[in-house]
Amino acid sequence: MKYRISAAVLLVMVAAFIQGSVFEYIEILSVRPNFFIVITVIIALLRGVYESAAMGLFFGLTMDIMMGKTLGWYALLLFLVSIPISMVNEKLYKEKFLVLFSFTFLSTLAVETLFYLIIFLFKDYSILHHIFARTILPEALYNSILILPLFKPISKVYTILDNVDRRRNRLSA
């Protein structure tokens, strides 16, 4: 259990480092990928409801702290996105391209659209279609492509952690 918590903390720190340093310089059409959404979807596809919801909450809080504008919106949105994905993950072929692509695309659409709706709650919604076309859709496509090379390595890390937990539980029993 302590290995799993240590791995989760390390994953949050690595994700924050990658989002804050590497992805600041990777832009296509002035849109950056959102590494936190991608990692949240991967963990929701691999783990159970409680673990993926907790990780979504921590990823969202880290993202809120890094952005510095509001605290709690991304935490709430990533928390809420991770729950339905983790509820259906046992019924899916997780390694399939279409599953990874569609879950990431839809999650990015949901999170970013809801975030912009919250931000523009008391403002004019006339530019929302422009933001949707210029920012949200390209970011969703970018994140959907980004998940493909990241899923296998993170899946292997969680498999190793599961094996370590099984060995430790068998030896302590």
CA atoms of 14 and 6, how far apart (whole Å) = 12
Helix (H/G/I), strand (E/B), else coil: 102: helix
What average pLDDT does this structure show over 125-138?
84
Range in 57-66, 116-125, 135-144 with the lowest mean pLDDT: 116-125
Residue type, 122: F
Interhelix angle for 137-172 vs 97-119, to 10°? 110
- Reported for 155-160, long-range contacts at CB under 8 A and 24+ positions apart, including other chains, are 155/42, 155/46, 155/94, 157/7, 158/46, 158/47
Q: Is the dihedral of CA 24, 99, 43, 120 positive or negative?
A: positive
The domain 2-157 is classified under which CATH number: 1.10.1760, 3.40.228, 2.60.40, 1.10.10? 1.10.1760
Domain spans of the chain, in order of start: 2-157
Contact (CB, 8 A) for 154 and 42: yes
pLDDT band at 31 (very low <50, low <70, confident <90, very high): confident
pLDDT band at 42 (very low <50, low <70, confident <90, very high): very high
Contact (CB, 8 A) for 36 and 140: no
